[in-house]
Amino acid sequence: MPTVPEVVRPPVDIPPRADLGEWARIRSKIVVTDRDWIYCGALSDDGYGRFWVREAASGDDVVVRPSRWMWGAHHGPIPPGFVVRHECDLSLCCRPNCLRLGEQVDNVDDAWHRDRLTYPGRVGKADRRGAGGAARVIRDALLEAISEGVQEPAALGAVVTAARAAGDPYANTGTLIPDGEMPPRVAARAWAGRRGVPPAGRRLVSEPHDDQGEFFTPEQLMDWLAAQSGE
Ligand SMILES: [Zn+2]
């Protein structure tokens, strides 16, 4: 990966619970836009960054998600069973203000709200490149813009917006939940299941697809979720 120039990196201030060496390394892979901090290092297939750190207890080198590293660098260890969520819906973002600690069911809630729940026959606004494909496009677009001399945060933010929009062709073709309606949290819990993960074989938003986006009514979706969970 090309090195991110100092001028577009996050502020130098070390997060209160960060290891200095790790902070220096992760900083060198983050591009700051007017809204987000985008990790531009190595990525995994599911659209998250891969950041190597040495685990203190074992001495082993392990891969962590940059967003999880960043949350821990500010708040301390992540409690078991919890996830770090993105308010901005950008898996590569690790801007502290975009990150929230939550449970998997909260992630499902988010996906519901943003009309990104997918299941056979319905893709809503899920990115057609899949989560991993979309993340690569966003990272590569940013790195290319920087290599061409773009440094201004708003201009870099516009690059991210354009890269996202290119994979979301149904953004204006419908909405799952009418404006103002409360989130159907019960149904989201039914989806997430007791163990806090989607049922086997179902994923929230990850697979590449070229579906044309079929839109169910909220009632139809509630019925479908209830049938899947056996409730
Ligand atoms: Zn963000």
Domain count, the chain: 2
Both 216 and 112 in a single domain?
A: yes
140 — pLDDT class (breaks 50, 70, 90): very high
Residue with tokens 């440094």: 151
Task: Identify the domain containing residue 134 by its residue range.
Answer: 1-102+129-167
Of residues 11 and 173, the one with the higher pLDDT is: 11
Both 70 and 92 in a single domain?
A: yes
Both 149 and 207 in a single domain?
A: no
Radius of gyration of the CA atoms of the chain, in A: 18
Ligand 1 centre distance from Cα of residue 68 (Å): 13
What's the start-to-end Cα distance of the chain, in Å?
48
Both 55 and 154 in a single domain?
A: yes
For the chain, the average pLDDT equals 78
143 — pLDDT class (breaks 50, 70, 90): very high
In the prediction, which pLDDT does 107 show?
Answer: 73
pLDDT digits (tens, 9 = 90+) for 72-123: 999 999 999 899 999 888 999 999 999 999 887 777 777 766 666 665 555 6
Both 201 and 163 in a single domain?
A: no
Ligand 1 centre distance from Cα of residue 197 (Å): 23
CB under 5 Å of ion ligand 1: residues: 36, 88, 93, 95, 98
Ligand 1 centre distance from Cα of residue 227 (Å): 34
In the prediction, which pLDDT does 167 show?
Answer: 80
Burial 130-149 (b: 16+ CB within 10 A, else e): bbbbbbbbbbebbbebbeee
In the prediction, which pLDDT does 191 show?
Answer: 43
Both 2 and 98 in a single domain?
A: yes
In the prediction, which pLDDT does 22 show?
Answer: 97
Both 34 and 111 in a single domain?
A: no
Q: Which of 167, 188, 218 is the last residue of a domain?
A: 167
Both 1 and 19 in a single domain?
A: yes
Ligand 1 centre distance from Cα of residue 19 (Å): 22
Both 85 and 163 in a single domain?
A: yes
Ligand 1 centre distance from Cα of residue 159 (Å): 14
Both 141 and 224 in a single domain?
A: no
Is residue 163 a contact partner of residue 36, using CB atoms and an 8 Å limit?
Answer: no
